[in-house]
Amino acid sequence: MSKHPAVWDEVRHTLGMAEMDATHREFIAQVAALIAADNAEFPALFQALVNHTAAHFKAEGLLMRESGYRGLPEHESEHHRVLGELQQLNRSLKRGHLPLVRAYVKEGLPEWFDTHLAMMDSALAMHLRKKEHAAVDP
C-alpha cells in the first residue's frame, strides 16, 4: 500500500486558491477512480487523466506567465516531464502493458502529486496570493 493514498486531504492538499484546489481535487478523484477501475474501463479513464493533466498544466503555466512567476522554468519543466511520462504510459497501455500502468497510477502518481503540491504548487500559490494582495493594497 502506498504511503500516499489517492485521497484528498484538506490539510495537506488545500492551497487556498479555489481554481488550483478544484483542479487538484479532480486529479485526485481521477487517480482514485483509476485505482478502483476494472481492466475494461481503465484505458478510457487513463486517457481522461492524461487529457485533464494536460489542461491542468496548461492553465497553471498560463497563471505562472501572467503573474511573472520566477519559478516558472523549473515548475514547467516538471510538468513537461510528468506529462511526457503519462503520454508514454498511455502508449504502453495501448500495447497491452496494463500492469505497468496500474502500478504507476497506484504508487507513482499519488507520491509525485503530494511532493509536487508541497514543493512547487504551494510556492506558486504563495506567489499568486502575494500578487493578489499587492493588487488589492497598492
Asked whether residue 3 is domain-assigned, the answer is: no
Asked whether residue 105 is domain-assigned, the answer is: yes
Domain that holds residue 92: 10-136
Distance in Å from the first CA to the final CA of the chain: 49
Q: Could you give the number of structural domains in the chain?
A: 1
Per-residue pLDDT of the chain (138 residues; tens, 9 = 90+): 456 678 888 888 999 999 999 999 999 999 999 999 999 999 999 999 999 999 999 999 999 999 999 999 999 999 999 999 999 999 999 999 999 999 999 999 999 999 999 999 999 999 999 988 777 665
Distance from C-alpha of 26 to C-alpha of 138, rounded to nearest angstrom: 34
Q: Which helix (H) or strand (E) holds 123?
A: helix 122-136
CATH of the domain at 32: 1.20.120.50
